[in-house]
Chains A and B, each alone.
Chain A
């Protein structure tokens, strides 16, 4: 089978994966446009792990770029996305957590806030200062994982890293925000990559881009030629590698395997095989944090799906409510049955359209009945599809059967604890079994067991 593949010679990960309909044509040609709402709601959970600590109170005046929540509690710093007046610091809607403490700011036009013009000599800053600027800017993984970036880049002293991987895969269907960013801001993305390479001290950088974004690969290659990074004070060889279009190519470990052939150990970190991975949008944010000391106060969001009247790629302030974006995009043009934050494979379904865009929101999808999957599920028929498509070689069918039989604590041997929930199994299951959910149930059972034992 592989012999006749038209992808012969084009790198990809070794095992499994699926090819969902891309639907990227809805927004691939939509240039990034700005939209600023009248009011933003900024939740204090904006990064993986602990929340941020609000440092403003009701009726405070804030300027765009001011700190509104600090990292005192372990979260990342959060800054005012717009200038205006704090209307409340209270419980609000969160796209993932459902409810979160939220700082609501009403925008005022009288004060544009900080300019964020490029600062001189940003190329010459030492490593420590670079990291500090990234930390202060509240940069997190913008691909959706929202891991605090300064922590990822602040490698332990014994780490032996030789390769930076920049992730431009954008393997989720519908999403094109990274694609547009690579096309429109190629220089900045490359300069951001150079900064990361300087921080982690590597001379080699691979940019992974799927075949379906050949124009983005060309744009980045042109930028690399323009910028002559090999001759800078931190010489860097950047290579753009076009990979197969296959989900989940953009998953860290799969991308590392595709680009370097290295296999990250189970439950291990990319660092262990000498690699650090950063998303293209994060590289861009890192450049802005260093060059302009501009915090992450906005991001590009793909607004798509057959339900939205005018699909778009919008740069919006963090905290922009979904329903303001719906309005800006012309409302619905068909019955929308599901609204997603993120892509259709791993994104979250939203219950409430007043939920805001957070640093981790890469897309907002307004799906019609025909586009999405609402059906019930049937028993496992043992077809083995899930075994074929799992990129890790796990056994979702077995996990699901054990969980159904009330024996979730017997599923570790089938890989329940290693699953990273890419969803290839559920996507492929002819019986429409929610295999990822069964994995989650199994994981929760093990977590509870651990808690009981430690209690």
Chain B
């Protein structure tokens, strides 16, 4: 034999694996979120980048501390905590003080992720727990720090402006809705929503760019259509009760939530039937909160509520056994 016997690994089969790792999936999700961030920086200015970095750093700090306490290798490279930070930032108004996302992200990751055991063990969507916490802690900033889109504003952002369209809808009811969209330029306004040329949270403003990222994830088969489609279908069922159904469907975090948050692997069911029920539940709860609730945006709480049902949905909707049914022909 040529040369000495090699040192051999004895691990059991299969001895090969498909290329994509959990970390690669997470970084691809992060990549798919990038276009919306670039757009937000363009229309809302540099502070948006600061908020995003601050949220990511806050999340990463909590994650890293947890690893140190557990004397475990750092889990930062798996990319999941960056994903959490990005998603949290995307739900925030562009005019926030920079320290708030940091605090919110750190506390969110601590309470929703590390205390459950880290990646894979959390019950609730981490970014949304962080957002809910911030809603309770910084209610004023979370609901008023909106910024008018302005392409010339990359250098500086002036004062805070008025409410987002959804806030107007909840506050002023049908009249406000009509004031925003029911104008002769209604169509143009719908287009503005689609493109993101309107006040709103950092990442949710452009349905087009959210859709682009989502299309990338679908193409890469990282997410499937079951959950997002049923979220939007569920929300659409309650659209007739909204003062302005078009605005209701093309605004807010509905699309961001449907494609990027409701589809979180860990906190959503893994069978198609379970995913459809899960998505419909989110859509309906979102509509309920938006139409009749006190909060302008409902999808955050809708997803968190449906997260609690995930284990039950997995129990109720099992994958079909191939050999169990089917009789010899």
Contact = CB atoms under 8 A, between A and B. Distances in A.
Asked if A and B are interacting partners, one says yes
B270 A387 contact: yes
Contacts of B11: 338, 349, 374, 434
Interface residues on B, range: 35 or more
Nearest to B326: A263
Contacts of B24: 430
Contact of A372 (B15, B270, B314, B318): B15
A347 interface: yes
A380 interface: yes
Given A350-B8, A378-B120, A384 B271 contact: yes
A347 B12 CA distance: 8
Contacts of A327: 1-2
A332 B3 contact: yes
A348 B326 CA distance: 33
Contact of A331 (B1, B15, B118, B320): B1
A383 B268 CA distance: 9
Given A331-B3, A393-B322, A379 B118 contact: yes
Contact of A391 (B3, B21, B322): B322
B191 interface: no
B13 interface: yes
B241 interface: no
Q: Which of B8, B21, B25, B321 neighbours the largest number of chain A CB atoms within 10 Å of its CB?
A: B8
Contact of A274 (B5, B320, B327, B328): B328
Secondary structure dominating the interface of A:
loop
A330 B319 CA distance: 49
A394 B6 contact: no
Contact of B13 (A346, A383, A415): A346
B184 interface: no
Nearest to A247: B14
B98 interface: no
A387 B9 contact: no
A379 B16 contact: no
Contacts of B8: 336-339, 349-351
B1 A266 contact: no
Contacts of A431: 21-22, 120
Given A373-B16, A436-B14, A383 B270 contact: yes
Nearest to A267: B323
A382 interface: yes
A378 B13 CA distance: 17
A367 B10 CA distance: 12
Contact of B322 (A14, A173, A344, A351): A14
Contacts of A432: 17, 21
Contacts of B119: 378-379, 381
B14 A338 contact: no
A409 interface: no
Interface of B is mostly: loop
Contacts of A335: 6
A261 to B, nearest CB: 6
Contacts of A447: none
Given A379-B121, A392-B322, A392-B323, A345 B12 contact: no
A377 to B, nearest CB: 10
B18 A349 contact: no
Given A378-B119, A431-B22, A344 B268 contact: no
A20 B326 contact: no
B141 interface: no
A336 B268 CA distance: 41
A378 B120 CA distance: 9
Contacts of B14: 344-346, 373, 423, 426-427, 436
Nearest to B12: A437
Contact of B120 (A15, A382, A384, A434): A382
Interface string B154-166: 0000000000000
A427 B319 contact: no
A167 B255 CA distance: 49
Given A426-B17, A427-B16, A349 B319 contact: no
A176 B225 CA distance: 39
A397 interface: yes
Given A263-B327, A263-B328, A381-B266, A427 B121 contact: no
29 contacts: A14-B322, A15-B320, A20-B18, A263-B325, A265-B328, A272-B328, A274-B328, A326-B1, A336-B8, A337-B8, A338-B8, A338-B15, A339-B6, A339-B8, A340-B15, A345-B15, A349-B12, A372-B15, A378-B78, A379-B121, A381-B119, A382-B265, A382-B266, A382-B268, A384-B270, A397-B270, A426-B13, A432-B21, A436-B14
Interface of B: 1-3, 5-18, 20-22, 24-25, 78, 117-121, 265-268, 270-271, 314, 318-329
Given A332-B3, A387-B270, 17 more contacts: A16-B322, A262-B328, A264-B323, A266-B324, A273-B328, A273-B329, A338-B8, A349-B9, A351-B10, A353-B5, A378-B78, A383-B270, A418-B321, A423-B13, A426-B13, A429-B17, A436-B14
List of 6 A-B pairs having minimum Cβ-Cβ separation, nearest first: A331-B2, A379-B120, A384-B270, A423-B14, A263-B326, A273-B328
